[in-house]
Chain A
Amino acid sequence: MRRSVLGFISALLLVTIATGCAEGRDEPGSEEQAAQDGLVLAVGSEPETGFDPVKGWGRYGSPLFQSTLLKRDDQLKIVNDLATGYKVSGDGLTWTVKLRGDAVFSDGEKLTSDDVKFTFDTAASGGSSIDLTNLESVEAAEGQVKFKLKKPQSTFVYHLITTGIVPEHAYSDGYAEHPVGSGPYTFVQWDKGQQLIVQANPNYYGDKPSFKRLTFLFLQEDAAFAAAKAGSVDVAYIPSTFSSQAVKGMRLEDIKTVDNRGIAFPYVKAGAKTDEGYPIGNDVTADETIRKAINTVIDRQRLVDGILEGYGSPAYTAVDGLPWWNEQSVIEDGDAAAAKQMLADAGWKDTNNDGIVDKGGLEAVFTLLYPSGDMTRQALALAASEMVQAAGIRMNVEGKSWDEIEKLMHSNAVLLGWGSHDPLEMYNLYSSIYGGVDYYNTGFYANESVDKWMDKALDARSEQQSLEFWKKAQWDGQTGLSAKGDAPWAWLVNIDHLYLVNDKLDIGEQRIQPHGHGWPITDNIEDWAWRE
C-alpha cells in the first residue's frame, strides 16, 4: 500500500518533471514501475557549500553528479573512471592522464581535457578546501591531460580520485546549486533544509544504476529513525543508540569504517604561543610515559561494547584497515597494572596519597576537551577519563563549542575524529610542518624519522611503492607515530556506520567508509538493486 502511494506521488512528480523539462519524453509506465524505479534515502547531512566538487563536494563519498578521473573499487583498489590510464614520469613531476572519449555531461556537451584543466585550475586558485599548492600547472591536449607538480607527490593520485570534473561551459557562481556533470545521476531539485532529488543520467558512460530516481531527505538522526519506523524511507542512517530496536521491513546494515575517534595530546611542553596568541603545549602530556600509559590503560573493546553497542572496532591508528595501515601498531590495552608499572618506572609515583601520580611536584592532571554537541565524543571522553584513573592519571573532562576548542586545543588534550581514503590525511596529522595548522597536528608533534618516512612515501612513484613507507612511519622497529612509538594520540574507536535498509533492497558490497556518516554509502550506487 505504502509503495503504491509513494509510487503515485513519485509518478506525479516524474510526470511534472518530464513535461516540464523535456517535452515529448516518454511518460513512465504504470505506478508500480515508477515505485520500483525510485528510492527515498535519509542518509546524510546537507552539504553546506552545495554540490560543487571544487568547493569540497564529494570529498567523503562519491560526487554523484560528477565523475572523477579515477575511482576506488569495493576493495579500495584504484581503477579507471574518466581516465583510461595514467603515467607518472621518472622524476615524479609529470602525471599524464589519458581520457576516455565517450564521456558527455548531462547537458549533452562532450567532456574534454579542457574541462579537466578548468576543474583543477579553479580548485587550485579559489580558496577551496582542496590543497593543490603542489600543482605547478595543468596542460590539456587532445584526449589527455598533463599535470606538472612542483615536487613529487605520490598522494596526488587521491586528488584524481576525489575531484569531480566540472564543465567549463556551464560553470558559474550558481553551479553549486545547479550542478551539471558526467556522473551517474543528474540534478533535479534541491529544497534547502529538506530534500534533494536526482534522476539517472541517460548519458552516463558507465554501468547504469538500476534506480531512475533518488530522493535524499535531510533529517536529524531521530527523525530519520522515525521515518524508517513509519516506512517512508528505504535507507536511513541511525546512531548506535537506536540499534537495539528492530524496525519492521528494514534490516540493520553495519558498515566498517575508518571513521575514528581519538585523543590528541599536546606533544610539547607549555610555554610557546601560536600566531593568534593561543597557548601551545602541556607539561603533563608532553611526557611520553603519560601518553603511553593512557594508551595502555584504556580498554578499547569496552568502549566499543559500552558506548557503540558493539558497532565499532578498537582503533590503534588513524588508518586502521586501510592499505597503508601497519598492523604492528596494535598494542595490548586495557592493562592497568602495566600502565602503573610504566609510570612507576619513569618516576611517576603517588607521593601525597591523593590517588594521582606525580613527578617532581607535577601532578598527572590535565584537561580533555570534547565538542559539546557530539554525544558520542562526550561518552568517549567521560568513559576514557574514568578508565585512566586506574593508572593514577586524572583527565578533567570539559565540553566546549568548536570556537572555544580552537583556542584551547594546542594546550589541552582534545577528542577529535578523522578517517579518510587518502594517506595524505595521516601526513597532515603527524607531519611537523602541519603543527598547529587547522585541526591537523594540534599537539605540534614532530619526529624527524617519521617526517623522513612520510617524505619518502610522498616521493614514491606509485601508490604501491608508497605504502611501505607509510607503514614505516607508523612503526619502523625503533620509533614511529603509533602508540608503540611516540604515542602523540590515543586512538580509541572506529565507529561503524549503521543504516536501516529496506529488506528487499540490496546495497551491494560496502567498502570501508571514511569519516562522514551518510553520503559514502552511495559510492557503489550502480550495484544497488531490488532483490527478487
Chain B
Amino acid sequence: MIRRHMLQAAGMNTGIPRWNGRIRTAISVSGAIALLAVIMLGSRLMGSEGLAVSLEERNMAPSPAHLFGTDWLGRDMLSRTVKGLALSIQVGLLGAACSTLIAAVMGLAAATLGRAADRCISWLIDVSLSVPHLVMLILIAFVCGGGMKGVAIGIMLTHWPSLARVVRAEALQLMSADFVLVSRKLGRSRMWIASRHLAPHIGPQLLVGFLMLFPHAVLHEAAITFLGLGMSPHQPAIGIILSESMRYLSTGMWWLAVFPGAGLLLAVWAFDRIGGHLRRLTDPGSVRL
C-alpha cells in the first residue's frame, strides 16, 4: 500500500494507464491550440448573416436554431460570440506580442548599454507604471483617432513596462555571470552578448510575460471599447457584447452574458494552459520531468 503511494507520487505506472508529462503536455497544448484555431477559422467561415438584424427574432432563449440565443436586435449570439472572440484574440495577440517585443528590447538595452541607458529606461518604466494603464490607453487611442487601429496601438504601447522591469533584472544578473564576463573580456560586442547570451535565457520569462499580458490586453480592449473610444458599439467585440449584456441581466436574459463570458474565459484559459506547458518544456529546471 505504501509502496503504491510512493509509486504514484513518483508518477510511475501503477496499473492505471497514465501518460507521462510530455505527452499530457502535448495533448493539452494541441487541444488548446485547436480551440483557438476553431474560433479563428469559425469566424472566417461563418459569414455575416448571423450578425444581421432581424426584428422578428428578438430576445430568443437558446434553441437548436440559435444555440446561444439571440440578442435585443435578433442577432445570433453564437455568431457574435465567435466573431467577438476572434477579434479580441487578434487584438490581444497583437498587443501582447508587440508589448513583449518592446519589453525585451528595453530590458536588454537597459542591461547592456551602460549606466546612462539603464537610468533612462528605468525612469521611463517608472513613469509608465505610475500612470494607470487605462488612462494611457485612452490618451493613445484618442490621439490615434479611435477605432481598431487606436486600440491596438494603445495596447501595444502600454503593457510593456512591468515585463521590461523583469527582463532588465534578469539580464543584469546574467551580465555578472562568469561566461558573460569571459565573453566580454574576449572582446565580444554588446549586441553579440545581448543576442547570443542573454536573449536565450530570458526566453521563458518572455513567454510567461506574454501569456500574462494576453488576458490583460483582451480585458483592456473590452474596457476601452466600453468607453466608446474603440470600435462602434454594434461591432462584435467581446467587451462590447459583455458590457451590453449587463443592461439585460435584470430582465433575465442570461444567455447574453453567460456564453460570451464563458467563451472569453475558455480562450484565456486555453492560452494560460499553452503557456504553462511550454514553460515547463523550455525551462531548464523542469524540462527533464
* Chain A positions near chain B (C-beta within 8 angstroms): 222, 225-226, 241-242, 244-245, 302-303, 305-307, 372-373, 375, 378-379, 381-383, 386, 397-401, 404
Contact = CB atoms under 8 A, between A and B. Distances in A.
B232 A379 contact: no
B59 to A, nearest CB: 9
B4 to A, nearest CB: 58
A148 to B, nearest CB: 47
A222 B234 contact: no
B232 A306 contact: no
B234 A383 contact: no
Residue among A222, A372, A381, A397 having the largest count of chain B Cβ atoms under 10 Å: A372
A382 B251 contact: no
A397 B234 contact: yes
A305 B55 contact: yes
A306 B58 contact: yes
Contacts, number: 54
B129 to A, nearest CB: 29
A399 B146 CA distance: 11
Contact of B251 (A241, A373, A379): A241
Contacts of A398: 232
Contact of B73 (A222, A382, A401): A382
Contacts of B247: 222, 241, 375
B55 A306 contact: yes
Interface string B205-241: 0000000000000000000000011001110000000
A379 B52 contact: no
B56 interface: yes
6 contacts: A241-B247, A372-B233, A379-B72, A381-B234, A399-B232, A399-B233
Contacts of B189: none
B250 interface: yes
B53 interface: yes
Interface in B12-63: 52-56, 58
A383 B250 contact: no
Given A373-B228, A379-B72, A382-B73, A399 B234 contact: yes
Interface in B175-190: none
A372 B243 CA distance: 13
Interface residues of B, number: 19
Nearest to A309: B58
Interface in B147-192: none
Interface of B is mostly: loop
A471 to B, nearest CB: 33
Contacts of A372: 228, 232-233
A381 B233 CA distance: 12
A381 B53 CA distance: 10
A382 B234 contact: yes
A397 B58 contact: no
Contacts of A306: 55-56, 58, 74
Contacts of B228: 372-373, 399, 401
Contact of B233 (A222, A226, A378): A378
A425 B92 CA distance: 47
A244 B250 CA distance: 12
A379 B250 contact: no
B233 A386 contact: no
B146 to A, nearest CB: 7
Given A222-B247, A242-B251, A383-B73, A378 B52 contact: no
B248 interface: yes
Contacts of B58: 306
A222 B250 contact: yes
Contacts of A373: 228
Contact of B53 (A226, A241, A305, A382): A382
B53 A386 contact: yes
Given A305-B55, A401-B228, A241 B234 contact: no
A241 B72 contact: yes
Interface string B56-96: 10100000000000001110000000000000000000000
Residue among A306, A307, A381 having the largest count of chain B Cβ atoms under 10 Å: A306
Contacts of B251: 241-242, 244-245
Contacts of B229: 401
A383 B53 contact: yes
A306 B261 CA distance: 27
B52 A400 contact: no
Contact of A386 (B52, B232, B250): B52
6 closest cross-chain pairs (CB), A and B = A306-B55, A399-B232, A386-B53, A382-B53, A372-B228, A399-B233
Interface string B121-152: 00000000000000000000000001000000
B50 to A, nearest CB: 13
A302 to B, nearest CB: 6
B233 A241 contact: no
A302 B55 contact: yes
Contacts of A302: 55
Contacts of A241: 72, 247-248, 251
B147 to A, nearest CB: 9
Contacts of A225: 250
Interface string B232-271: 1110000000000001101100000000000000000000
Nearest to A404: B146
Nearest to A385: B53
Contacts of B53: 379, 382-383, 386
Given A400-B146, A401-B146, 4 more contacts: A302-B55, A379-B72, A398-B232, A399-B232
A383 B73 CA distance: 8
A226 B247 CA distance: 12
Contacts of A399: 228, 232-234
A225 B249 CA distance: 13
A122 B232 CA distance: 42
Contacts of B54: 386
A305 B53 CA distance: 14
B30 to A, nearest CB: 39
Contacts of B234: 378, 381-382, 397, 399
Contacts of A303: 55
